[in-house]
Structure formats: C-alpha cells, structure tokens
C-alpha cells in the first residue's frame, strides 16, 4: 500500500539544511554542534516514525517534480530503503559524537561538519530515491560532498588521494548515467517501485549493455575489484571520514545501488533467464578472497581495515547476485552487520591513534592492559567478521550459505569458509598481541599506563560494539533488522509470510 507522505523528502532535507546552518555558524563551535546534533536526532526520528508502517507493508512516497511519467525527482520509502536509511541515520548520530571529539583541534571544522552533513543528506536521498534519476542526482552529490572530507588535511598525500577518489567515482557516475538513459529508452520509465522494469522483449545486447553500465557505475563505489583502488588511497583522511566512507555512506551506496539494479531494474525472473548475475557473483567471490589476502599483508591498521571493507562489501554483492530469498536476506542484513562492526573498528583505530599515536598492528603489544574497553570493542568486531556465533557477522554468513545452497552454488559456501579463515588470520594476531604479548607495549619500558580514549570517542565505540552483539543474538526479535529485511525480500520475490 502506497501512502503520500512528506517524510521521505524531509529526511534528506534535514541534513541538507543542517549543512547550510553549519556553514552559516562560522567559527562558533557551540552552534555547529547544536545544529549537528539536532539534525541527527530529527532525521533519526523521521526514519523511525516510518518503521512501523514499513513493517506492515506501507510504502511512503513523495513526488517533488515529474518530467514525464516515471521520470522526475521522487522519493519512496519502501522496506529496503528504510533499512538502509535506518542504518545510516543511526550511525550519523554516533559518528557526529565521535567526530566532535576527534576533530576538536582540527582546522576548518566548519567545512568538515558542513560537508559531513551533506554526505549524510545524499546517502538518505539515495535510500529513498523513487527512480533512477533521483538516485543518480544524490549519487553524484555524495561523490562531490565527500571530496572535501577526503582531502581535509590538505597534505600532498591527501590531495593525491582526492584526485584518485574523484577520478574513480566521477567515472562511475558517468556509467550510472549511461545505464539510466539506456534504461529509460528501453523501459520507458526509471521508476524503482517495481520488481523489474525492463521488458523481456528487449534485445540481449541492449540488456547486457545496461547491466554492465550500471554494474560498473555502482561497482566503483562498492569497491569491487578491480575498481577498488580509490578506497585504500582515501585512508589518509581523518578517522571519522574513514568511518563515514566505509560504514555510513559511500561504499554502502554502491552496494545498495547494485542490489537495486538486480531486484528493481532487472528483477529476479528476467535476470535469472539472462544469466548476467553469475559473472557478478564470481567477481564478488574473487574480491572477497583477494582483498582478504591484501589485508593479511597490511601492517597499517587503517589499511588493513580498508582492505577488509573491500572484502566485506562483496558479501552483499555475492548474496544479491545469488537471487534466492535467503541470500537476499543476507545481502540486506549485511548492510547493517558490516556497518556497525566496521565503524566499531574505525572508532577503535582512531581512539588508539589519538591516545597512543600508534598506527600499525605491530605496535599493539599489551594494548588490552592499556585500553581494555577499546580492545574489547575491537575483539567484538573481529569475532563478528570471522563469523563467530552470537555476533552479527555469523547471521550474514549463515543466511548467505543457506541461500547459496538454495541456489545450488556450493562455491559460494567455500568462499565463506575461506573468508572466515582469512579474517581469523588477520584479526586474531592483533588480539593476540593486545592480550598476550606481555604487559608493556612495543618500544616502552615498565608496566603500561591505563588510559582509555576520551569519552566522546569511547562511548560511541562501545555503543556500536553493543549493536554488533545485539544484531547477532537478537536478530529475529520484532522490529529488529531481520523483520525489515524480510519485508524487503517479500516485495522483491513476491512472497508472503517469508521466513527462515
């Protein structure tokens, strides 16, 4: 049931207005913080207010302008978009707290928090985009608004990373635009309201061109190999930006876009007959394993976490490409599971850097004695990525494996097993150093001084780590992520009463 409502429009508009108010506040830190916190709270409240309806199958729509039928600036809060918006809005609140504490002594905080708000506005705009044109506009707005954050430090390395970032992401946006134009000329609409809009009568060559254009365009931001190089380079940005890129905004938008392409542009029935999803699944599987190997070789903490992101994002792509209800459930759930675990890791890494100055895995001997709470949060995220039961990552791997068996894709189960072993290989040595490598950190003498990260860095970290446990141990309780994911899967596959 569709209901006309302004809330899908107001949700991205809130942080857009916040950006303007932050820029207008100038050097007045108090006002900057007030607008940032207020907008984050209002946005989350707007999204949460639509959750009960979304769980009952209600879709909230708002049309800003329509150029032709099915083409305009339109907003649509269906279950899948609600899931993505809920994750982004929740993490914006926590990341705002963390960023205020982390960036306290940084230069040009007005620019930082202004563009930070624009990034979140663009992300929620993508989540609630009602057609491919609206999706594209917010997709490109996100690209542009994230650039000042990537180059925030203005060092030669940061500027070089910014150029790489823009080259990749603008090129990806160009592919999305080409794919959208071809979709319009083929289907006569860009609407994302249906489970497949492309006609079966279109030529295979044309459908293949649309698939490649959209897959490449969205795959850039999803950092699928070999389109991933911008993401490790962007790790020169401040830690809150890295958290934003990896957990809240940019890379998630890419994975979200590919999932929309599979289930809303092509649809399961047409794409199954065409067979185009199979190469995407193989590429995602390769990325999962290859990026894990690169993470295993990285000593810099942020670089190791970055390659882990490249690997983990492809779980979403692999699951979506399998096109079974259980695999689709895994794809949607992993948007939240990866987000909370990944942002926990980045928050811990930033706290370690701020407190100790350490930036490498080889420096973390005895960390647990010095920063016990931060180390425990890192352990929670690590166990989740390995896939230990009762943590969020286990839920993803369980449903993805069930979905793979449902599709007869045993190779995907093998990829899950290899990925789990590789995750253990590059996270557990850090935990071993932290907990079992003596009482003093590398390069120091005497017992370590216990000194945790500042409260504004530590509290969001612990909350996110708590979410990782909650998402893994209470996944099927009412109103938890599984309920929203189930509603999205029912729409995509035309099911009723779907369950594990």
Give the list of residues 6+ apart from residue 147 with CB closer than 8 angstroms, or none. 162, 165, 166
DSSP string, 190-215: -B-SSS--S-TTS-HHHHHHHHHHHH
Q: How many residues does the chain have?
A: 500
Cα gap 287→220, rounded to integer Å: 13
Cα gap 432→435, rounded to integer Å: 5
Question: What's residue 480's pLDDT?
Answer: 63
Neighbour-count burial for 101-112, b at 16+ CB within 10 Å, e otherwise: bbbeeeeebbeb
Give the list of residues 6+ apart from residue 386 with CB closer than 8 angstroms, or none. 393, 420, 423, 424, 427, 428
* β-bridge partners, 74: 63
Cis peptide before 226 (omega within 30 of 0): yes
Cα gap 173→140, rounded to integer Å: 6
Distance (Å) of CA 215 to CA 267, 273, 275, 421: 14, 18, 14, 29
| pTM exceeds 0.85 | yes
Q: How many CA within 13 A on the CB side of residue 67?
A: 11
Handedness of CA 69, 73, 78, 80 (dihedral sign): positive
Q: Is 395 exposed, middle or buried (0-12, 13-18, 19+ CB in 10 A)?
A: buried
Asked if 23 and 116 count as a contact pair (C-beta separation under 8 A), the reply is: no
Q: Which residue in the block uniquely carries the two structure tokens 């914006």?
A: 92
**Would residue 438 be called left, alpha or beta, if left means φ above 0 and alpha means ψ between -120 and 50 degrees?**
left
- Return the CA Rg of the chain: 21
Cα dihedral value 412, 417, 418, 420, nearest 10: 120
Question: What's residue 246's pLDDT?
Answer: 67
Question: What's residue 441's pLDDT?
Answer: 45
Q: Is 238 exposed, middle or buried (0-12, 13-18, 19+ CB in 10 A)?
A: buried
Question: What's residue 129's pLDDT?
Answer: 93
Domain boundaries, the chain: 276-500
Residue-wise pLDDT for 40-63, tens only, equals 899 999 999 998 888 888 899 998
Q: Which has the closest alpha carbon to 315: 413, 192, 169, 446?
A: 413
Q: How many CA within 13 A on the CB side of residue 500?
A: 14
In this prediction, the residues of the chain whose per-residue pLDDT falls under 70 are 246, 438-449, 475-480, 494-500
Question: What's residue 239's pLDDT?
Answer: 78
Distance (Å) of CA 327 to CA 221, 271, 297, 362, 406: 22, 15, 30, 37, 8
Q: Which residue in the block uniquely carries the two structure tokens 């050097």?
A: 27
Asked if 412 and 400 count as a contact pair (C-beta separation under 8 A), the reply is: yes
Calculate the CA 191 to chain-centre distance.
23
Cα gap 226→232, rounded to integer Å: 12
Cα gap 130→493, rounded to integer Å: 19
Q: Which has the closest alpha carbon to 323: 258, 387, 381, 375?
A: 258
Q: Is 226 exposed, middle or buried (0-12, 13-18, 19+ CB in 10 A)?
A: exposed
DSSP string, 301-352: HHHHHHHHHHHHHHHHHHHHHH-SHHHHHHHHHHHHHHHHHHHHHHHHHHHH
């Amino acid at each position: 049931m569709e209901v006309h409502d302004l809330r899908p429009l107001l949700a991205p508009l809130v942080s857009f207005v916040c950006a303007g108010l932050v820029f207008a506040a100038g050097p007045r830190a108090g006002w900057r913080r007030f607008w940032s916190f207020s907008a984050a709270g209002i946005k989350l409240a707007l999204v949460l207010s639509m959750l009960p309806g979304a769980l009952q199958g209600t879709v909230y729509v708002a049309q800003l302008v329509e150029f032709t039928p099915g083409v305009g600036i339109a907003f649509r809060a269906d279950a899948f978009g609600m899931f993505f918006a809920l994750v982004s809005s929740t993490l914006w609140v926590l990341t705002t707290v963390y960023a205020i504490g982390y960036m306290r002594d940084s230069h040009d905080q007005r620019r930082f928090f202004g563009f930070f708000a624009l990034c979140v506005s663009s992300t929620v705009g993508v989540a609630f985009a009602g057609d491919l044109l609206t999706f594209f506009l917010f997709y490109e707005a996100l690209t542009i608004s994230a650039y000042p954050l990537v180059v925030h430090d203005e060092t030669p390395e940061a500027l070089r990373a910014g150029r790489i970032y823009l080259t990749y992401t603008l090129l990806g946006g160009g592919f999305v635009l080409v794919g959208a134009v071809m979709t319009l000329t083929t289907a006569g609409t860009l609407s994302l309201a249906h489970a497949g809009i492309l006609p079966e009568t279109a030529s295979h060559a044309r459908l293949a061109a649309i698939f490649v254009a959209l897959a490449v365009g969205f795959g850039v931001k999803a950092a699928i190999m070999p389109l991933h190089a911008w993401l490790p380079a962007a790790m020169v940005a401040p830690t809150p930006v890295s958290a934003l890129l990896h957990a809240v905004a940019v890379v998630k938008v890419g994975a979200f876009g590919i999932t929309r392409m599979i289930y809303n542009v092509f649809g399961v029935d047409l794409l199954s007959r065409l067979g185009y999803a199979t190469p995407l699944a193989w590429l995602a599987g390769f990325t999962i394993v290859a990026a894990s190997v690169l993470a295993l070789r990285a000593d810099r903490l942020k670089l190791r976490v970055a390659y882990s992101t490249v690997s983990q994002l492809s779980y979403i792509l692999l699951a979506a490409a399998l096109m079974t209800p259980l695999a689709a459930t895994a794809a949607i759930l992993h948007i939240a599971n990866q987000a909370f675990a990944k942002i926990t890791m980045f928050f811990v890494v930033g706290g370690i850097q701020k407190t100790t100055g350490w930036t490498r895995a080889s420096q973390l001997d005895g960390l647990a004695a010095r920063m016990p709470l931060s180390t425990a949060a890192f352990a929670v995220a690590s166990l989740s990525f390995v896939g230990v039961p009762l943590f969020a990552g286990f839920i993803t791997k369980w449903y993805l494996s069930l979905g793979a068996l449902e599709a007869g894709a045993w190779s995907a189960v093998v990829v899950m097993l290899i990925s789990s072993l590789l995750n253990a290989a590059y996270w557990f040595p850090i935990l071993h150093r932290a907990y079992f490598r003596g009482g003093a950190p590398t390069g120091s003498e005497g017992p370590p001084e216990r000194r945790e990260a500042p409260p504004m860095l530590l509290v969001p970290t612990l909350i996110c780590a708590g979410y990782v446990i909650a998402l893994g141990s209470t996944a099927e309780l009412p109103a938890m992520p599984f309920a929203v994911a189930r509603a999205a899967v029912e729409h995509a596959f035309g099911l009723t009463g779907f369950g594990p």
